[in-house]
């Protein structure tokens, strides 16, 4: 493989899997040239250039409104222009294969490649495929699904391959000892319960944690790590007497999350695709509080998938409070048999070889391009 073009954006759940694929491809093909199509307004414009030596092409595109709206006419016009621009980028870069990892920006990129005869693959990170994946599934050579169950929503796909999410491949090498050390817990073997609501935090989860602070004080045999999100940190700390708790660490953000997850006995958080990839690869039981504000409510579908497979529990945000949350935590972390069963179930769901499987498939597709 000499050249690979990727596209995905909007959220980290689409960008980080793409970058995981880049790392895996470069590991096998050190001289590969990499390009990326994104938007200047998306997170990808900030994140991708930091990875080094990735050529960035930008397009102007927006997502469809799910309700009838005049904005959708503008969306169609932008899509047509973006397809034209992507065809130009593809002619210029001459990729062996094009990969989409989701988000509306990957729509024109992958569609243009398929129409130009370039081998294509899209990765669907969630149980419930997004509109972009559903649209592209009839045009691409391969749809790679991360979670079993997605295939029933992709009846027009030419070929479906269950690969897992490549983010899982990165975290299996995480260092639990380093994770404990970064939290100042190197000298203790207490199980860690981690509360995390994403990079910006989650207000309902923060409110529930505040309500169960008395329970935290009563359970000194457990260490609780509470990641508030940077925007909530000051207000949380102002309302918590940190000197009262010897078993509570409060942080605004954790930069070495894979290492901390590797040291964690139970994680309480959202149900985004990257989170699921990481915790299943590491075999970490979870209590998932899906965000009801995401497109198509796909996090609830993700959380139900984890719960139905015995790897975690789901608590809907409307049912979330301190006592409810503590009941579920207590039933897992203080029950060794249940905890062990959930950990094993999580590992069975994980695909730590996802990146390698995807590189194998991309290698096959790139050979098709060269033979033509």
**Which residue numbers belong to the known binding site for UDP-N-acetyl-alpha-D-glucosamine?**
11-13, 199, 254, 299
9 touches 15 (CB < 8 A): yes
Task: Show the tokens assigned to 72.
Answer: 């959708």
What is the DSSP code (8-state) at residue 155?
T
CA 232 to chain centre: 22
User: H or E stretch including 348?
Assistant: helix 336-349
Computed from CA positions of residues 121, 124, 125, 127, in that sequence, does the dihedral angle turn out positive or negative? negative
Task: Report the DSSP beta bridge partners of residue 98.
Answer: 5, 120
3-class secondary structure, 244:
helix
Strands annotated E in 125-164: 142-145, 160-162
Task: Report the DSSP beta bridge partners of residue 4.
Answer: 34, 97
Q: Which residues are annotated as a binding site?
A: 11-13, 199, 254, 299
- Structure-token match 């309500």, residue found: 211
**Among 277, 352, 346, residue whose Cα is nearest residue 311:** 346
């Amino acid at each position: 493989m000499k050249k690979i073009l990727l596209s995905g954006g909007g959220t980290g759940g689409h960008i980080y899997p793409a970058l995981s694929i880049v790392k895996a491809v470069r590991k096998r093909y050190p001289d590969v040239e990499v390009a990326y199509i994104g938007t200047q307004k998306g997170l990808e414009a900030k994140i991708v250039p930091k990875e080094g030596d990735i050529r960035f092409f930008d397009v102007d595109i927006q997502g469809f409104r799910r309700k009838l709206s005049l904005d959708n006419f503008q969306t169609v016009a932008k899509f047509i222009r973006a397809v034209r621009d992507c065809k130009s980028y593809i002619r210029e870069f001459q990729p062996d294969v094009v990969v989409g990892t989701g988000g509306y920006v990957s729509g024109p990129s992958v569609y243009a490649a398929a129409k130009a005869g370039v081998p294509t693959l899209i990765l669907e990170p969630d149980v419930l495929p997004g509109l972009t994946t559903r649209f592209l599934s009839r045009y691409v050579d391969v749809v790679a699904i991360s979670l079993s169950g997605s295939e029933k929503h992709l009846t027009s796909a030419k070929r479906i391959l269950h690969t897992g999410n490549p983010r899982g491949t990165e975290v299996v090498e995480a260092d639990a000892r380093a994770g404990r050390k970064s939290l100042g817990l190197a000298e203790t073997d207490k199980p860690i319960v981690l509360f995390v609501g994403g990079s910006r935090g989650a207000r309902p989860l923060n409110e529930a944690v505040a309500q169960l602070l008395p329970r935290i004080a009563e359970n000194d045999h457990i260490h609780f790590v509470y990641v508030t999100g940077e925007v909530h940190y000051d207000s949380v700390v102002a309302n918590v007497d940190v000197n009262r708790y010897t078993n509570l660490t409060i942080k605004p953000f954790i930069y070495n999350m894979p290492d901390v997850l590797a040291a964690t006995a139970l994680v309480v958080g959202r149900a985004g695709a990257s989170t699921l990839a990481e915790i299943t690869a590491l075999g970490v039981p979870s209590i998932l509080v899906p965000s009801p504000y995401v497109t198509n409510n796909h996090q609830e579908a993700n959380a139900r998938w984890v719960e139905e497979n015995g790897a975690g529990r789901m608590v809907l945000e409307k049912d979330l409070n301190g006592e409810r949350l503590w009941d579920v935590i207590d039933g897992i972390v203080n029950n060794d048999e249940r905890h062990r069963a959930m950990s094993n179930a999580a590992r069975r769901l994980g695909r730590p070889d996802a990146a390698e499987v995807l590189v194998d498939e991309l290698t096959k597709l790139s050979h098709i391009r060269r033979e033509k």
